[in-house]
Amino acid sequence: MKEFKGRVVTPGTCSAKAVVTKAGFNTLASLQKALQFGDEKATCNDQNNPDIYGEPLRGNALVLPQTIGSTTGGMVLYCACAMKRQPACMLFTNHIDSLAAAGAILADVWLDDITMPVIDNLGDEFLDYVKTGMQITIKEDGVVVVE
């Protein structure tokens, strides 16, 4: 078990299995099937991200360095939350970008029954340590426990 401290972007606690990508996360390419075609597991559909292609994102702890892609990223993330097809949490090793932050914060503020904790600034050591399938627990103070 190891603990990492990050910055809380959107608050909350959760416990979920990790899904880890070392590449940038293209929000639209990854979540398009979940939003347009009813994929309730929110299976990652980004063929350019072999780390997580085909992995279910809904209900899992998404570990990523950053998001990439178009300016729709924030709205895609917000819509995934509104449709209840979002990751259990998002754990950024780098600073969160403004588009992902906007989507996560708007979902946190506008959606009453949705919780998706987002922590950033967890660092490269975090990304090197966590593997897909490991159990992640987020505490309210931004501490992320990896088992």
Task: Decide if pLDDT at 12 tops 90.
Answer: yes
The pLDDT value recorded for residue 70 is: 87
- Burial status of residue 86 (CB atoms within 10 A of its CB: 0-12, 13-18, 19 or more): buried
For the stretch 19-45, pLDDT in tens is 999 999 999 999 999 999 999 999 999
The pLDDT value recorded for residue 73 is: 94
Tell me how far CA of residue 108 lies from CA of 49, 101, 132, 137, in angstroms: 27, 10, 26, 19
For the stretch 98-146, pLDDT in tens is 999 999 999 999 999 999 999 999 999 999 999 999 999 999 999 999 9
Q: Could you give the CA distance from residue 108 to residue 90 in angstroms, rounded to a whole number?
A: 13
For the stretch 60-98, pLDDT in tens is 999 999 999 989 999 999 999 999 999 999 999 999 999
Nearest to 127 by CA among 28, 26, 4: 4
The pLDDT value recorded for residue 75 is: 96
- How many residues comprise the chain? 147
In the chain, the domains with their CATH numbers are 2-146 (3.50.30.10)
